[in-house]
Amino acid sequence: MEGNPQVPDLFYCEICRLSRADPFWLTIAHHLYPVKLAITSIPTDGTSPMQSVEKTFQIARADKDLLTKQDYDVQAWCMLLNAKVPFRMQWPQYADLQVNGVSVRAINRPGSQLLGANGRDDGPIITPCTKDGINKISLTGCDAHVFCFGVRIVKRRTLHQILNMIPKETDGERFEDALARVCRCIGGGTAADNGDSDSDLEVVADFFGVNLRCPMSGSRMKMARRFKPCVHMGCFDLEVFVEMNQRSRKWQCPHLSEELHVGEYYN
């Protein structure tokens, strides 16, 4: 299948990865903990092997009562083991998901299409296919990678709840730190550096143009934000960013687990 993966500096189990994959889904209970897909056949022509798994999970009366409430659902999820993009759902190629004999569409991309670094799969809602008592779920795919999948009860968070989870101004970057970072971006040094030094090997910018319009909406930013590890000058409007990701789930940043911070210098 694959060689031995590189040991990460910080290890997250699949449950922790799942909890960070999409903030709009809050896990209430796990009804099927992560189970690894098993290889069922290896083609002789060198194509990807067939993988599958079949399990059961139970929906109790208390669960059924909970699922009658708004924003509560049963969700099937799948993840790639040892993924380079750890905090996202991903289904195998040609995924065939069935719940109690009913076929459920797992992905919105063509079955043969690979998931890119900025792509995101979602977890299909399988509530209409479930019943009281024992439920049977199966997943089959044709892929060379190793996957695990499970079932959980989730609650859908609102846009307002997501915004409240993001650190406030008092918890974010101090203005002094923001100023020093901006100085480094402009001049390649720190706020305390002497711009009148005699070094003939330095080029110091007198000014640096910054667009105060959100790159996603084109409107002026009301609350400038950036991802914590970013060292560039660019920010975006917080509400626009979260609202767009409520639909796309792409979260276009290489570190999905990092916190968002207020763009203190711009605010």
For 165-189, the DSSP string reads: HS--GGGS--HHHHHHHHHHHHHSS
How many CB atoms sit inside 10 A of residue 184's CB? 14
Cβ pair 235, 216 in contact under 8 A: no
Give the integer Cα–Cα distance in Å for 148 and 144: 13
pLDDT at 226: 73
Phi, psi (rounded to 5 degrees) for 77: -135, 160
Is domain 14-157 classified as CATH 3.30.70.20?
no
Cβ pair 67, 115 in contact under 8 A: no
Q: Taking the C-alpha atoms of 194, 199, 204 and 206 in order, what is their torsion angle to the nearest 10 degrees?
A: 70
Please name which of 189, 181, 192, 196 lies closest in space to residue 233, comparing C-alpha atoms: 181
Query: How far out from the chain centre does Cα 64 lie?
Result: 28
Cβ pair 151, 108 in contact under 8 A: no
Residue 159 is encoded by which pair of tokens?
């846009």
Q: What is the CA radius of gyration of the chain?
A: 23
Residue 157 is encoded by which pair of tokens?
């968070």
Give the integer Cα–Cα distance in Å for 12 and 153: 21
- Interior CA angle at 87 toward 16 and 171, to 5°? 80
For the chain, 267 residues long, the average pLDDT of each consecutive 10-residue run is: 66 91 92 95 87 97 93 96 89 96 93 84 95 97 95 94 77 76 66 48 60 78 74 77 74 44 43
Please name which of 248, 54, 27 lies closest in space to residue 149, comparing C-alpha atoms: 54
Helix (H, G, I), strand (E, B) or coil at 63: helix
Give the integer Cα–Cα distance in Å for 161 and 24: 9
Q: How is the chain split into domains, by residue range?
A: 14-157, 161-262
With tokens 């905090």, the residue in question is: 87
Query: How far out from the chain centre does Cα 245 lie?
Result: 10
CA distances from 96 to 37, 76, 250 (A): 13, 12, 23
